[in-house]
């Protein structure tokens, strides 16, 4: 049932739309114009680009953006990892006291680097070190360059890479280079895990290396990312390995180009330096090319050595 006012309005609309009504044409025109205006609005909105999304940290994100293969993903902090794992307890404090160095870093009497890791050769010689391999594309090129200039270096091997490329492990040993354990799969957070987990990781890596080269000594350990902790240093020592850090880092893992890598090493190297470079873990062609540029100069300025294979 409708009210009188409603019946009157309905009657007026029917009257305007009757054939021959003088208002019919005007009404239809109004409806057509309204429809056109609505379509134009929708079309206009579709032509306006959507605003980029922002994360809670204020970083602009783009679902179609590029991926930087040579840049490692940001590692979660210990508290963030605990939150992800459902563990809300605070991480344990180091179990041994540290002596503060002049630069404010934690050092002890067993070495010249963080938590007692060795960061220099201990003499006037310079050590070139190569991390993350062996890699079938870049390791042979690095070996060829070193062989050309009669230089022996130290290769810090990742366990899963050694297991996949045992022939390259044997090639490294055959050329007289020193081997170094660099964890099973480059776990930067390994030092935050339990001593048993650290021990299992390092033993698994040594087993993969020794499966390829049974008689090769492994007396050095390098923590991925240089993220040293007392537990990882202690376990390495217990397994007969000396923790190895570095003094010169050209950040070649970022693939800045051969010229930048060579320039950084050349300007920072000095007697006793341990130089960090990579023969795997991404595009390392820049490192290979930088090596060819550096070796003539470095061999003229310094004695280059592989780190010793007896316990330091």
Mean pLDDT of the chain: 76
Measured between alpha carbons, how far apart are the two ends of the chain, in Å?
101
Residue 129: per-residue pLDDT:
98
**What does the DSSP assignment read for 119-180?**
-B-SSS-BEEEEES---TTTHHHHHHHHHHTT---EEEE-HHHHHH-HHHHHHHHHTTPEEE
| pLDDT bracket for residue 111 (50, 70, 90) | low
What integer is the mean pLDDT of 73-82?
A: 37
Q: What is the pLDDT of residue 310?
A: 84
Residues designated as active site: 131, 278
Q: What is the pLDDT of residues 29-48, one digit of tens each?
A: 555 455 555 554 444 444 44
pLDDT-based confidence at residue 115 (cuts at 50, 70, 90): confident
What is the per-residue pLDDT for 239? 98
| Residue 249 scores a pLDDT above 90 | yes
What integer is the mean pLDDT of 270-284? 98
Share of the chain above pLDDT 90, in %: 62
Give the chain's domains with CATH numbers: 105-301 (3.20.20.370)
pLDDT in tens, 166-184: 999 999 999 999 999 999 9
Q: Is the pLDDT of residue 141 over 70?
A: yes
At 260 the three-state DSSP class reads helix
259: CB partners within 8 A, 6+ apart: 290, 293
Q: Which of 38-42, 204-208, 277-281, 299-303 has the lowest mean pLDDT?
A: 38-42
C-alpha torsion angle, residues 170, 176, 178, 182 (rounded to 10): -30
| Tokens encoding 193 | 């895990």
Whole-number pLDDT of residue 114: 78
Q: What is the Cα–Cα distance from 129 to 147, expressed in whole angstroms?
A: 15
| β pairing state of 178-181 and 218-221 | parallel
- Helix intervals (H) in the chain: 4-17, 24-47, 78-85, 139-148, 159-164, 166-174, 195-212, 230-238, 258-268, 285-301
Q: Specify the pLDDT at position 58.
A: 29
By the 8 A CB rule, do 166 and 210 touch?
no
Contacts of 32 (CB under 8 A, 6+ apart): none
**pLDDT of 119 strictly over 70:** yes
What are the tens digits of pLDDT across the range 144-166? 999 999 999 999 999 999 999 99
Q: At what angle do helices 230-238 and 195-212 cross, to 10 degrees?
A: 50
Answer whether residue 298 shows pLDDT above 90: yes
Distance CA 209, CA 219 (A): 12
Mean pLDDT of 49-53: 36
Residue 116's pLDDT is 85
Q: Which of 41-45, 97-101, 115-119, 245-249 has the lowest mean pLDDT?
A: 97-101
Contacts of 199 (CB under 8 A, 6+ apart): 235, 238, 239
* pLDDT above 80 (res 268): yes
Token pair, residue 225, equals: 């990312």
CB 312 within 8 A of CB 219: yes
What DSSP character marks residue 96?
A: S
């Amino acid at each position: 049932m409708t009210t009188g006012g409603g019946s009157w309005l309905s009657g007026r609309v029917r009257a305007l739309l009757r054939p021959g009504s003088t208002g019919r044409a005007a009404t239809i025109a109004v409806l057509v114009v309204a429809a056109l205006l609505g379509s134009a609005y929708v079309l206009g909105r579709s032509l306006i680009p959507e605003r980029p999304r922002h994360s809670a940290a204020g970083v602009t994100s783009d679902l179609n953006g590029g991926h930087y293969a040579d840049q490692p993903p940001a590692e979660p902090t210990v508290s963030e990892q605990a939150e992800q794992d459902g563990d809300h307890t605070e991480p344990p404090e180091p179990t041994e006291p540290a002596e503060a160095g002049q630069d404010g870093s934690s050092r002890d009497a067993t070495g010249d680097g963080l938590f007692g890791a060795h960061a220099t050769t201990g003499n006037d010689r310079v050590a070139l070190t190569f991390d993350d391999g062996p890699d079938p594309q870049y390791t042979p090129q690095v070996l060829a360059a070193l062989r050309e200039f009669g230089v022996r270096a130290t290769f810090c091997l990742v366990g899963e890479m050694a297991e996949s490329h045992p022939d390259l492990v044997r090639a490294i040993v055959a050329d007289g280079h020193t081997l170094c354990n660099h964890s099973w799969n480059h776990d930067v957070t390994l030092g935050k895990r339990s001593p048993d987990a650290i021990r299992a990781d390092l033993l698994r890596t040594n087993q993969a290396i020794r499966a390829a080269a049974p008689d090769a000594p492994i007396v050095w350990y390098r923590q991925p990312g240089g993220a040293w902790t007392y537990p990882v240093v202690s376990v390495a020592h217990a397994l007969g390995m000396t923790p190895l850090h570095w003094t010169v880092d050209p950040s070649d893992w970022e693939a800045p180009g051969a010229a930048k890598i060579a320039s950084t090493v050349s300007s920072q190297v000095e007697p006793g330096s341990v130089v960090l470079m990579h023969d795997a873990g991404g595009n390392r062609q820049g490192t290979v090319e930088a090596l060819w540029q550096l070796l003539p100069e470095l061999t003229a300025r310094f004695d280059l050595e592989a780190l010793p294979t007896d316990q330091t």
